Structure formats: structure tokens, C-alpha cells
Amino acid sequence: MLISSVLFALIGLGFALSSHQLEKEWKQFQLAHDRFYKNPAELRFRKRVFNKNLENIKKHNEEYKAGLQSYMKAVNKFTDLTYEEVQKKLLKYKGNVASEARRDSNVDLDILQVDDNELPDSVDFREKGYVTPVKNQGECGSFWAFSAVGAIEGQLYAVTKKLVSLSEQELVDCSDTNCGCFIGDMEDAFEDLKRLGGIATEESYPYKAKEDNCTLKKDMVVAKVTGYKVLPKDESELKKAVALKGPISVAIEVTHNFLTYKKGIFYDRLCSGDEENINHAVLVVGYGEDNSTGKDYWIVKNSWGTEWGDNGYIKMRRNRRNNCNIASFASYPLVKPKRKLF
């Protein structure tokens, strides 16, 4: 009855914002995000989209305060965009037929022989030095490169105990089996880096958020990718890999709810569970359990800058029927340093 009463009280909340409140938030948004629209028609359209998204955020956050949602939303750079616009520009995961064959045939399939009770209850590789600061892919759909590079950075640290920011731009420019800012896949990225002879530092091959000619030179390479391992489609296997191997590249399904995540443990009822709807890639850098709610979560590094989410991170629900397919396409590279890093 209590939940029903709360739900009833929340009905219509999405329409409760006054025109004054909407106008104030709209002006603040434009200032914060340097928005300038090309003509009055676009301005009106963007304002309508913003108002709709804002009311969704406000309604959701009231439900969060009432204990009906496990995470909070916030206005950010996506709030004047439709989901379809973001999807068209940024959310295009390619998928990998070869890696699916590897999973099916057990070739390069990493099944770790360890019991769950032997694993730590929580892991955070940010605290262990494996994770570079959050990066920003900008308006280029290069999430696949950021996920792949994050995993390589972690594996390189595991071998050398040196944390080095590596080049996503090299993959955007030089990964022939991927398509730069348009579409891509981490496992194809690992394969291409084998062919290319390795990966350069971000300093020597900086990110430009657009595809360009490949300018990699042999003397720029600091680490070689000798292969990669794919994981079974199982959250318990992903937990083992994170605990024992380090940060893991994963592909996920992103709905409009993900775009405005701010904090809390993200569980999305809109995620279909259909692998055909996977459209983004991120880096799992740890896992844990929330002390107050008992909910299990993954610690996930995104590539949308520190303004998005919880300083660029999101806690995604763990052990809830593989929500948003987080364990369906997980892999990590095998890495060797090519030369002394410092």
C-alpha cells in the first residue's frame, strides 16, 4: 500500500515544473554547455527536447528520493538531444563474428578455474594504479577504441607497474577492420594492433576526435598486443576475470536512461537482453556490494568525460540477469612492453 501511495503521489510529477523553472534551467544549460543554435527553428526544437528530457529527469529523481529507483539522473551535454540523435552519432557497436566463433569453439576462451568464494568481495583497480584518468571521445563514435585502450593500459600496468596513457587515435586512424568514428569493436582492435606491431602513447599520437590518415611509426610503439582472451557470457566469469586479470573490455546496451545517469546503482528495465541491441563499449574496472542496499554492482569507466555520470564512471547492477548484456561480449588483451617506459 505504501508503494502504491507513493506512486500515486508521483503521478503527473513530470508536468509539475512551472514555465519559469523550465526557462531558468534552459538558460543555465545553454550557458554551461556553450550552446548556440543555427536558427530560431532549431532553437525551438532543442528547447522542446530539453524540456521533455528535463521533466523525465525530475520525475525520475523524485522516484529516486522515494526509494523507487536505485540511481539518480542529472542534466548534462545530452539533454537537448534526442536518444535517436545520440544513437546515430555515438552508439554503434559492430560486434565480432570471429570472437563469437571463438566463444562457441572454446578457442581463446578464458575459463578461470577458481571458486567464487576464493575471490575478494570487492575490487577497484583505480586504487591499485591500473586505470588512467577518464577520457572524452567527443563527437566521434570511438567508444570501442577507448574500451580497448583502457584494457591495454591495465594489462601494461600489470606487467610493468607503470601507468601510461595510450593512444585511442592510433586505433581510430589505423584499425582497418574498424571504421574510425563510425563503428567498431574491441576484439578487432586487439587483432589490428597485433598487425600494426603495437600501440603508441597518447602523448606521441594524441586524440583528435576525428578519423585521419594513419601516422604510426615503429619508434612510437611502447607495447605489443600479442593476442586476446574472450570470456564466457556469464557474470560470474566476468567477476573472476576482473578480480584476477584486471580491467576488462565489455560491450553493453545503452538506452536513453543511461545518457543522464548521475550516481547510484544503475539498473535499466528498458534493456532488452537482446544482443542485437548492444550499441556501446566501456571498461569494467572493479566490482562491489552496496552496504546500505546489499545490491551488487560493477564499477564501469565510460569515455564521455568527467562531467558525465559520477566523475565519468557508472555503477551498473551486477548479478541481475546480466542487465544490459554487460557480460555478453567481454574480453581482455595479452600485452608485452616493447621498450622501457620511463
State the DSSP string of 65-90.
HTTS-SEEE---TTTTS-HHHHHHHH
Q: Do 147 and 109 have their domain in common?
A: yes
Q: What is the mean pLDDT of the chain?
A: 92
Q: Which of 16, 35, 69 is the last residue of a domain?
A: 69
Lowest mean pLDDT among 98-112, 119-133, 148-162, 189-203: 98-112
Q: Do 240 and 311 have their domain in common?
A: yes
Structural domain for 187, as ranges: 83-337
Distance CA 175, CA 148 (A): 12
Q: Do 268 and 300 have their domain in common?
A: yes
**C-alpha pair distances (Å), 43 with each of 18, 31, 144, 218:** 20, 14, 32, 48
Q: Look at residue 18 and tell me if it is in a domain.
A: yes
Q: Which residue has the higher pLDDT, 19 or 335?
A: 335
Q: Look at residue 315 and tell me if it is in a domain.
A: yes
Q: Look at residue 78 and tell me if it is in a domain.
A: no
Long-range contacts of 18-23 (CB under 8 A, 24+ apart): 22/51, 22/54
Q: What percent of the chain is predicted at pLDDT more than 70?
A: 90
Q: Look at residue 63 and tell me if it is in a domain.
A: yes
234: domain CATH number?
3.90.70.10
Query: CB atoms < 10 A from the CB of 313, how many?
Result: 22
Distance CA 43, CA 307 (A): 23
Q: Which of 45, 69, 93 is the last residue of a domain?
A: 69
Q: What's the structural domain count of the chain? A: 2
Closest by CA to 300, choosing from 267, 274, 272, 276, is 267
Q: Do 284 and 213 have their domain in common?
A: yes
Q: Do 254 and 194 have their domain in common?
A: yes
Residue 7 pLDDT more than 60?
no
Q: Look at residue 77 and tell me if it is in a domain.
A: no
The predicted pLDDT at position 342 comes to 58
Q: Look at residue 118 and tell me if it is in a domain.
A: yes
Q: What percent of the chain is predicted at pLDDT more than 90?
A: 85
**pLDDT tens, position by position, 35-75:** 999 999 999 999 999 999 999 999 999 999 999 999 999 99
The predicted pLDDT at position 84 comes to 98
**pLDDT tens, position by position, 102-137:** 555 455 666 678 888 899 999 999 999 999 999 999
Query: What are the grid coordinates assigned to 31, written together?
Result: 550557458
Query: CB atoms < 10 A from the CB of 3, how many?
Result: 10
